Every structure is written in structure tokens, then in C-alpha cells.
């Protein structure tokens, strides 16, 4: 009697394979752990350290870990406000600005890029000219103009960052749509009677998501740096404590006291670094060439 045939191995889901690669990527795991820590600080930090970041707790520019100011472990700023309280209470607005600006960037860029890449022709050329117009303008200068014209509030800053940052997402989406729309399964869906709306949002876009997810993750870090730059130039929301606002408010005193600027700067650095590590991990995980190794 012949031996039973060996079971045929079936390839796993691409998403599961990508997640498996991400879990075995050391830097990406470190980035995820860092992001989780920062999110936890933003979520429960104010409950564990309920100090008003605007209240004066000690003498101005008290150094960190000073025995005379134990109530302010990270020191105080130029007004005598607790820097640790500013770091903890400023984490949530900083992350929200980055996330909202990145989401707006992706929505605008993906919508315009999908229409340009799918329809082509004069629609593609018109949307490309619009994109080039925004690319020619200096992003920081345009954001400064928008924030100045409207009130320098946190929503205005986030919307301004999203408005000036979408061209890169648009070009990435357009390139993916130009490539995918020529594939056989798209032609088969069109031959089966699928309308353009379904082809764009239900057939092509899901297969173009991996590079867009990576771009969105990296855009969060860029948006946080953007907000810090605007706040450094004095265009932050004075009514909401953010890490960028802490740097901008204390920049004139950096030569006398490094901690009011350096500690929020380190917080921004580690946040952007964690997002970059996660973005690189996603890039490796969703790369089909690496999955075939």
C-alpha cells in the first residue's frame, strides 16, 4: 500500500506574513514599544501626575533634580512652571496634532492621487498641475501664512500642516493607481460591470494600501516636527501645552538653562524616532521581495 501523500503547504495570508515579519523585526518592535509608552504617558500620565503645566511651582529656571526644588524633578522653565508636567500634559496634544495632520494629509493626497491615476488624461494633468503648485510653495512659509490668517489654535495648526503636506501622498497614490489599473483583475472587474467608484475604492485602493500605510506612519513624525517648528517661530497655540510650545517659549533662555528646551526636544526626538522605526519595519514587512527570502 502506497504511503499517503504529504499535505500541500499553502502560502499564508500576505497580511499575516507581513505581521510575522514585523514581529521579528527588532527595530520595529522597539519602535512599537516606544510608541506604546508615549501613548500611555499621554493617556494616563495626567492622572498619575496631576500638576497644572501652567502653574508656577518653583523659582524660574530651576535645574533638574535640584535638592531645593524636589516638586519639579525635571526643573522649571523661565516662568517657574514644572517641565515634567509640561512633558506629560503636552504629550496628548502633540500626538493629536501629528495624527490629525497625517490623517488629513492622507485623505487629501489619496483622493487626488486616486482620481489622477485612475482617470488619466486631462484630469491627471490638471491635478498634477495643482500638485506642482503646492510643491513649489515653501511648506513652512505657507503653513505660517495660514496659521497667521486664522487664529493660531491647535486645529488650525493641524489643518495647515495637512494642507501643505499632501503632495507627496498624492504622487505616491497616483503611481500606485497607474500601475495597478493595468493589472488583469482590474480589467476583469471592469468587464464584469464594476463601476468606476467601485474600481477605485473597492478594487484598486485596497491593493495600493501598503505603501500608503507606510507613508502615513512617517507623516505623523513629520507633522510633529512641523508643529514644533511653528511653535518655535511663535505660531503655536498659547492656550494648549505642547512640546513645541515649550521649546518656543524657552528658546531665548537656552544659553542660560538648557533643560527647558532640551527635555521637550528629546521627547520629540524619541517620538519621531519611534515612528520612523515603525515605518521602516512596515516597509520591510510589506515588501514582497523581502517576504520571498
Residue 177's nearest CA partner among 124, 219, 215 is 124
Spatial contact of 243 and 94, defined as CB atoms under 8 Å apart:
yes
Residue 202's region, left for phi above 0, alpha for psi from -120 to 50, else beta, is alpha
Number of folded domains that form the chain: 1
**Does the pLDDT at position 57 exceed 60?**
yes
Average pLDDT over residues 168-188: 91
Asked, for residue 225, whether it belongs to a domain, the answer is yes
110 close to 174: Cβ distance less than 8 angstroms = no
Tell me whether residue 85 is in a domain: yes
Q: What is the pLDDT of residues 199-242, one digit of tens each?
A: 999 899 888 888 888 888 888 888 888 888 888 888 888 888 89
Instruction: Give the end-to-end CA distance of the chain in Å, rounded to a whole number.
Output: 38
Query: Is 63 within the bounds of a domain?
Result: yes
Measure the CA–CA gap between 18 and 165, rounded to whole angstroms.
28
Domain presence at residue 201? no
The helix (run of H) or strand (run of E) holding residue 198 is: helix 196-198
Question: Is a pLDDT exceeding 80 seen at residue 11?
Answer: no
pLDDT (mean) for 140-147: 88
Averaged pLDDT of the chain: 87
Residue 89 lies in a domain: yes
- Output 282 or 84, whichever has higher pLDDT: 84
Residue 191 lies in a domain: no
- Between 169 and 22, the more confident residue is 169
With a cut of 60, say whether residue 249 has pLDDT above it: yes
Range of the domain at 40: 17-102+122-163+216-291
Within a domain: residue 259?
A: yes
Within a domain: 232: yes
- Residue 221, C-beta contacts closer than 8 angstroms, at least 6 positions apart: 98, 271, 272, 275, 276, 279
Amino acid at each position: 500500500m502506497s504511503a499517503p501523500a504529504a499535505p500541500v503547504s499553502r502560502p499564508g495570508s500576505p497580511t499575516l506574513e507581513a505581521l510575522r515579519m514585523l514581529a521579528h523585526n527588532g527595530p520595529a518592535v522597539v519602535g512599537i514599544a516606544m510608541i506604546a509608552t508615549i501613548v500611555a504617558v499621554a493617556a494616563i500620565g495626567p492622572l498619575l501626575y496631576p500638576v497644572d503645566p501652567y502653574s508656577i511651582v518653583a523659582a524660574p529656571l530651576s535645574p533638574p533634580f535640584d535638592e531645593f526644588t524636589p516638586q519639579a524633578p525635571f526643573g522649571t522653565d523661565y516662568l517657574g512652571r514644572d517641565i515634567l508636567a509640561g512633558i506629560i500634559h503636552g504629550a496628548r496634544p502633540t500626538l493629536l496634532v501629528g495624527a490629525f495632520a497625517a490623517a488629513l494629509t492622507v485623505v487629501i493626497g489619496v483622493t487626488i492621487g486616486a482620481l489622477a491615476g485612475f482617470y488619466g488624461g486631462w484630469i491627471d494633468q490638471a491635478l498634477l498641475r495643482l500638485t506642482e503648485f503646492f510643491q513649489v510653495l515653501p511648506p513652512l512659509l505657507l503653513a505660517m501664512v495660514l496659521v497667521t490668517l486664522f487664529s493660531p489654535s491647535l486645529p488650525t495648526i493641524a489643518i495647515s500642516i495637512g494642507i501643505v503636506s499632501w503632495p507627496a501622498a498624492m504622487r505616491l497614490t497616483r503611481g500606485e493607481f497607474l500601475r495597478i489599473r493595468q493589472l488583469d483583475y482590474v480589467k476583469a472587474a471592469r468587464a464584469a460591470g464594476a463601476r468606476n467608484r467601485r474600481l477605485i475604492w473597492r478594487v484598486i485602493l485596497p491593493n495600493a494600501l501598503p505603501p500608503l500605510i507606510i507613508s502615513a506612519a512617517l507623516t505623523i513624525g513629520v507633522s510633529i516636527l512641523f508643529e514644533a517648528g511653528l511653535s518655535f517661530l511663535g505660531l503655536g497655540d498659547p492656550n494648549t501645552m505642547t512640546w513645541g510650545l515649550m521649546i518656543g517659549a524657552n528658546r531665548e533662555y537656552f544659553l542660560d538653562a538648557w533643560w527647558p528646551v532640551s527635555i521637550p526636544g528629546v521627547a520629540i526626538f524619541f517620538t519621531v524616532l519611534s515612528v520612523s522605526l515603525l515605518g521602516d519595519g512596515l516597509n520591510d514587512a510589506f515588501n514582497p521581495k523581502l517576504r520571498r527570502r
